[in-house]
Amino acid sequence: MLDAETKEYLARVGIRKITELDTALIETFGQNEGERHIERLTELFDLSEERLVHGTGNTPYLHRQQELVDYLNQSQQMSLLASSFYDRVFFRRVMDYLLRYASFLAGDIYDIGCGNGILTCFLALRYPDSVVTGLELSLNAVAVAKELADRLQINNVHFTNQRVPGQKQCDTLFSCRTMHENAAWKALCEEPKPAVLPMEEHAKRHGAYAKELAALVKDRGYLVSVERYEEDSTYAGLICALERAGLSQVRGTHMQFSCKDGDKTAVFQAMIFQKT
């Protein structure tokens, strides 16, 4: 039942199975334009990899892939192709989780790091009595998300590139794949060898962003967290940082799942926290 609902929504959005992104780009944009996109994306992926491995001076980790994000969201058509290739199964897993724990989502809902708005619009449709706000730094992604909401005729959702929407707190904060980008990471070449850090160090690296998330949630409100981490000292450090920020685990809500991320397999941890 849950799977049928998520499949129906993704089909309505325009997410489809794509096995080769290069082939899909050429089929969609034609040979010449498709090859131009492939060449530029290859350059941007290589640039992002270089920045992650060797660092970028004072550029925060969060912005080291910004050009790639903007390029993939230059239009809704391009954004949907990329999401179909990279995130089709991931979206289904996350939406199944959201439906399974629907009782924790109500009132004002924020989706921080909402990207192209596919999950944000799902929340708005699923909770028509809620006001859903998508927060995203990329202006291109915000434009794509707004276009999607208009196409789906959703009236209870809006998107902004402001990191914090004024001083208003939400009843439920949805954070999906944002922790890793906001932790205080060093360039990979600067990490200790082997790159295994103690839990306390991971807690420190996640501390500032954990406090930022907690500040967005009302007392007794909820954080719904889905992050790409193995169940190891890194994730233990994240949980520790959230607890120190005043967000306590809700028992029985942890779920681990894995899915393909392009040509790789990624592991994710989902859990709900309550602000105490």
| Dihedral sign (CA 181, 186, 190, 194) | negative
13-17: average pLDDT: 95
Domain 2-275 is found in CATH 3.40.50.150: yes
Q: Is 259 helix (H, G, I), strand (E, B) or coil?
A: strand
Q: Residue 59: its pLDDT value, please?
A: 67
SS in 3 state form for 78-101? HHHHHHHHHCHHHHHHHHHHHHHC
241-261: average pLDDT: 94
Q: Residue 1: its pLDDT value, please?
A: 45
The pair of three-digit structure tokens given for residue 150, joined into one six-digit string: 């208009």
pTM of the model: 0.93
- Which residue type sits at 256? Q
The pair of three-digit structure tokens given for residue 204, joined into one six-digit string: 């420190």
Give bridge partners of residue 269 from the DSSP assignment. Answer: 227, 256
Which pLDDT band holds residue 37 (cuts at 50, 70, 90)?
very high
- Cα-Cα-Cα-Cα dihedral of 95, 97, 98, 102, to 10°? 140
Q: What is the pLDDT of residues 60-82, one digit of tens each?
A: 677 778 899 999 999 999 999 99
Extents of the domains making up the chain: 2-275
Q: What is the pLDDT of residues 176-213, one digit of tens each?
A: 999 988 888 777 777 765 557 889 999 999 999 999 99
**What are the residues whose beta carbons fall under 8 Å from the beta carbon of 111, sequence distance 6 or more?**
119, 120, 123, 132, 133, 134, 135, 174, 176
The C-alpha atoms of residue 33 and residue 183 are separated, in whole angstroms, by 37
To the nearest whole percent, how much of the chain has pLDDT over 90?
A: 77
For residues 239 and 232, the answer to whether their CB atoms sit within 8 Å is no
Instruction: Report angle CA 50, 81, 132 to the nearest 5 degrees.
Output: 95
| Count of C-beta atoms within a 10 Å radius of residue 158 | 17
214-222: average pLDDT: 97
In 3D, which of 85, 89, 116 has the Cα closest to residue 21? 85
Q: Is 191 helix (H, G, I), strand (E, B) or coil?
A: coil
The C-alpha atoms of residue 35 and residue 51 are separated, in whole angstroms, by 24
The pair of three-digit structure tokens given for residue 244, joined into one six-digit string: 């120190």
256-271: average pLDDT: 85
Rounded to 5 degrees, φ, ψ at 54 are -110, -5
Given the DSSP bridges, would you call strands 157-160 and 132-135 parallel, antiparallel or unpaired?
Answer: parallel
229-240: average pLDDT: 93
Q: What is the pLDDT of residues 125-183, one digit of tens each?
A: 999 999 999 999 999 999 999 999 999 999 999 999 877 666 689 999 999 999 988 88
